[in-house]
Amino acid sequence: MIKVLHLSDIHLGSGFSHGRINPETGLNTRLEDFVSTLSRCIDQAIASSVDLVLFGGDAFPDATPPPFVQEAFASQFRRLVDAQIPTVLLVGNHDQHSQGQGGASLCIYRTLGVPGFVVGDRLMTHHIQTRSGPVQVITLPWLTRSSLLTRPETEGLSLAEVNQLLIERLRVALEGEIRRLKPDVPTVLLGHLMTDNANLGAERFLAVGKGFTIPLSLLTRPCFDYVALGHVHRHQNLNKSNDPPIIYPGSIERVDFSEEKEEKGFVIVQLERGSAQWEFCPLPVRPFHTIEVDVSSADDSQASLHKAIEKKRIQDAVVRLIYKLRSEQLDQIDPVLLHQALSAAHSYTIHPELVSQLARPRLPELGASNSLDPMDALKAYLNNRADLKDIADEMLEAAHYLLAAEPQEAPDLTRFEAELTTVTGQSSHSQMASLDNQLRLL
């Protein structure tokens, strides 16, 4: 029986906007949070004497983290070297650098020859000797189009065709690794990837370019005893029948508010050839709370806001207060009192939103049951806008031109815009800018 600790998506050095500077250390408190959570994982690995640690990728927000962040990461993983626990570091999309081969931020561990450390920056099988016997780990780092295809091969193909070709290449390459596996040795596939049925977490916002998804059928193979994944920040098992378990442990800390409701943790696996028992171990991480309240119809908007704040346990949490109000209520809000009420939070942001002053009463003639042609809709609109009466004809003419299948000749739209400016007193651009400024002042 081989005991494995599987963690992923550390993203050390991200989310600084949710922290503050700790005056005693000079460090951002969110870096300290992430480091202490990572250290809990490493504590657990050492305390329960695991035989192997698998890291599923995305160590940092990018491939070139500042030295103090790299050092924080290294000093935690160094403890596994001291405890002689073999460790596989897989390269995720955030770890890859466009220059050179593989993940710049993690390859240093291989270059330095750190004892017991393996860096997975390409598809290959690693034969690892642990205290409890041998294990084979196939590493499948984040794949980019250029990792399996050359430019001439993709010329003239659509994106979907390129992805299809890429998956075919991967299927063949993976099959090559599988054929060379030792049949009696416990086997893990460690991959940083998006599967076609994963429930997305924050990664959807963090990834710069959309990658391609890997069909689950490629992973659901009896030759694997456990499939250890990284990339999706929400913990989940993609194969409920557990033959094999296909597990995203998720990120170890909340990277942003999209992970507000997700439990964070790592996974402990008892592995043998033919079976894997796994358990999700939650980590006590800092809570995130969104307080969302609409005070636009409240008599005492300030009191309503305080009531909403009191309902949440904001002590030491990362809090965002989002509230809706009418512009007439702006004077009723005392920001000093709001800041006081939120001061127990670890950090907080306040986002007032003006309820739309542009909302007009609904026009009965535009009811959902009637299907109108756009010209009739515009006419109905103009009939209800006395202030646009002077330019109504020009607007209709312009609309007619825009809707025409084959435009003959454009009406003079500059004149139209000038008149609109005269009617409203300002151009639509400056209207937007002034609205923007009003919001900024809040």
Q: b or e along 59-72 (b: 16 or more beta carbons within 10 Å of the residue's beta carbon)?
A: bbbbbebeeebbeb
Q: Which two tokens stand for residue 360?
A: 């007009």
* 233 touching Mn ion, by CB under 5 A: no
H-assigned helices in 14-66 = 29-47
* 231 touching Mn ion, by CB under 5 A: yes
Q: Are strands 52-55 and 87-90 parallel, antiparallel or unpaired?
A: parallel
* 11 touching Mn ion, by CB under 5 A: no
Torsion of the alpha carbons at 49, 54, 56 and 58, rounded to the nearest 10? 70
For Mn ion, the closer of residues 187 and 236 by Cβ is: 236
Minimum distance between the CB of residue 286 and Mn ion, rounded to whole angstroms? 21
* 245 touching Mn ion, by CB under 5 A: no
Chain residue at closest Cβ approach to Mn ion:
231
Minimum distance between the CB of residue 93 and Mn ion, rounded to whole angstroms? 4
Torsion of the alpha carbons at 254, 259, 260 and 266, rounded to the nearest 10? -60
* 93 touching Mn ion, by CB under 5 A: yes
For Mn ion, the closer of residues 186 and 250 by Cβ is: 250
For Mn ion, the closer of residues 103 and 186 by Cβ is: 103
For Mn ion, the closer of residues 231 and 346 by Cβ is: 231
* 92 touching Mn ion, by CB under 5 A: yes
Minimum distance between the CB of residue 96 and Mn ion, rounded to whole angstroms? 10
* 346 touching Mn ion, by CB under 5 A: no
CA 267-189-248 angle, to 5 degrees, is 35
Minimum distance between the CB of residue 231 and Mn ion, rounded to whole angstroms? 4
Distance (Å, rounded) from C-alpha 413 to C-alpha 114? 69
* 256 touching Mn ion, by CB under 5 A: no
* 147 touching Mn ion, by CB under 5 A: no
* 58 touching Mn ion, by CB under 5 A: yes
For Mn ion, the closer of residues 40 and 94 by Cβ is: 94
For Mn ion, the closer of residues 13 and 92 by Cβ is: 92
For Mn ion, the closer of residues 209 and 222 by Cβ is: 209
Minimum distance between the CB of residue 146 and Mn ion, rounded to whole angstroms? 17
* 234 touching Mn ion, by CB under 5 A: no
The residue range among 39-47, 82-90, 180-188, 230-238 that interacts with Mn ion, by the rule CB under 5 A, is 230-238
H-assigned helices in 312-361 = 335-342
Instruction: Let me know: does 131 contact 51? Beta carbons within 8 Å.
Output: yes
Residue 119 is classified by DSSP as E
Minimum distance between the CB of residue 211 and Mn ion, rounded to whole angstroms? 9
For Mn ion, the closer of residues 58 and 262 by Cβ is: 58
The residue range among 58-66, 72-80, 270-278, 396-404 that interacts with Mn ion, by the rule CB under 5 A, is 58-66
Where are any strands of DSSP class E within 48-141? 52-55, 87-90, 117-120, 124-130, 133-140
In angstroms, the Cα distances linking 328 to 223, 296, 351, 361, 425 are: 67, 9, 17, 19, 22
Burial classification of residue 171, based on how many CB atoms lie within 10 Å of its CB (0-12 exposed, 13-18 middle, 19 or more buried): middle
Distance (Å, rounded) from C-alpha 57 to C-alpha 71? 17
List contacts with Mn ion (CB under 5 A). Answer: 58, 92-93, 231
